[in-house]
Structure formats: structure tokens, C-alpha cells
Amino acid sequence: MSIRLIAIDIDDTLITDQLVIPPACKDAIAQARAQGVKVVLATGRMLESTAPFAQELGLTEPLICYNGALIQASNDGPPLVHHTIPLALAREIVSLGQAEGLHVNAYLNGRMYVDEINEYTRFYSSFTKTKAHPVGDLLAFIDQPPTKLLYVCEVELAEKWRIVLQQQYQGRLEVFRSKPQYVEFTNLGVSKGAALRELAELYGLTSAEVMAIGDSFNDVPMLEYAGIGVAVANAPVAVRAQADHVTASNEEFGVAEAINRFVLKKSI
């Protein structure tokens, strides 16, 4: 069955380490869309830092943001899908982070809120170009369910807290890592894979008509859902093992290679 929808992760997949979209990837995406194939960006980023990439590519399809917690049409209308974290659980995560000296990002109403601007805020913003809004005491500030929460910390601490909190919140929250320094939290059942399924169903498509391309552990659910799940070569071994195919790295235009091979049917 032909691929009619392509979902592409942004960081370390679509964009290079210099945070730009290679011309080869732009060209392949444009050719696929010219053939009627829908192209969707699926990312852990918030809408604010996702939209510029969609605009650069000329995409009009909805965007999957916050690891699937939000599916937003390209216009300024209401979300197609929005799954928030229950307020009581969100406050627990923020309180724990503060008690353990971990930097916490809270994503609420399309903005990112933090206790203060510090080295972790600057590190995160350097990649995402996202503006942080300091509020002094994040726990006191949050009075409604956020879309996502995120700890930014050293790599060793991130893995420690992922393991601990994944077990502690099993059956209540999704806890995962998208980058070595991040521990992310979304509502139970939220994932890129679940969002991709929801979007495909809105389009009347089956999983066999979907291709997904990604690099990290938060991409695995969409690689498993898609009829063709593709990992870039720079993905961890465990992620590559879950993919149907491995393409070139983000630095070697792996997205273009995958589209040329499986959608445009060009010889490699």
C-alpha cells in the first residue's frame, strides 16, 4: 500500500546538529507533498518552536507537539486534540523537582514557565529558541492542568529520575526521555504514536499508509504504529532495533533518503 502520510521528528532527525533543515530534506518533502502525500512534524517541542519549521517547509498539515499531547492545525483555531496533565499530578511533579533541586519547565497555554532563568533554562532555549517566562515559584503559579512538564538536569540524574518516576507513576502518567538531559511528563496514554494514530484516523488512513521517521525513545511509539517505521542512523541502538528500517543520519540527510526510497520510489 502506498504511503499517504509521513510523520517526521524534528531534533536529531529532520534538522542537523546546526539546527537547520538540509536542502535535500526540503526537496524530498516538497516532492512528496506534490504527489499528494501529507507531511506532519511530530515533536516534543511546543507549538511556538515547531511552527517556524513547518512554515519553512510550507506545510499546511496539523502539527503534533509536546510528544503528542497537542495536535494543532496550522491556523490559529482550537486544537484538534489536547491532552493535559491532571493538576494534582502536575503539582506533585513540580513539587518533587523543586525539592530535589531539579529545574522544571511547565508548558501551559502555549507558554513555557520556570521558577527562574538559569543555566538549564539557557541550555534548553539554545536548542528550541523558546522564550522562558520566570514566575518565582512555579508550584504556586500553576493553577490549571499543564500540557507537559519537563526536568532539565545532568544526564546521570535524568536517567535516575526516569527510572524512579516511571515506576512511581506507572498507570498515572507517561514518563520518558527525549534527549539525554530531559525527563518529560505527559498525561497517561499520550505519545507520538497515539497522536499519529488519532491524526491518521482523522484523515481516514490506516497505519499501513503511514511512515514515521525518528531518532529517540519518545519516537518509538510512532515507529511501532507506522506501517514503515524508520530510525536515523544516529539513533540509539535500542531505538534502531524497534524500527523497520534504518536510514542515514540527520547529518547525512536521512529523512530525504527515507522519503526517496519508500515514498518517491527512487533508487538509492
Active site residues: 9
User: Residue 245 contacts by C-beta under 8 Å, 6 or more apart in sequence?
Assistant: 228, 229, 230, 231, 258, 262
Tally of CB atoms within 10 A around 99:
9
The full DSSP string for 116-183 is S--HHHHHHHHHH-PPEEE-S-HHHH--S--SEEEEE--HHHHHHHHHHHHHHTTTTEEEE-SSTTEE
C-alpha to C-alpha distance for 147 and 125, rounded to whole angstroms: 18
The answer to whether residues 234 and 27 touch, using CB atoms and an 8 Å cutoff, is: no
Inter-CA distances, 55 with 59, 75, 230, Å: 6, 11, 24
32's enclosing H/E stretch is helix 23-34
C-alpha to C-alpha distance for 5 and 197, rounded to whole angstroms: 11
Query: Burial code of 236-245, b = ≥16 C-beta within 10 A, e = fewer?
Result: eeebbebbeb
Place of cell 506534490: 34
C-alpha to C-alpha distance for 229 and 27, rounded to whole angstroms: 21
C-alpha to C-alpha distance for 159 and 210, rounded to whole angstroms: 31
C-alpha to C-alpha distance for 188 and 18, rounded to whole angstroms: 33
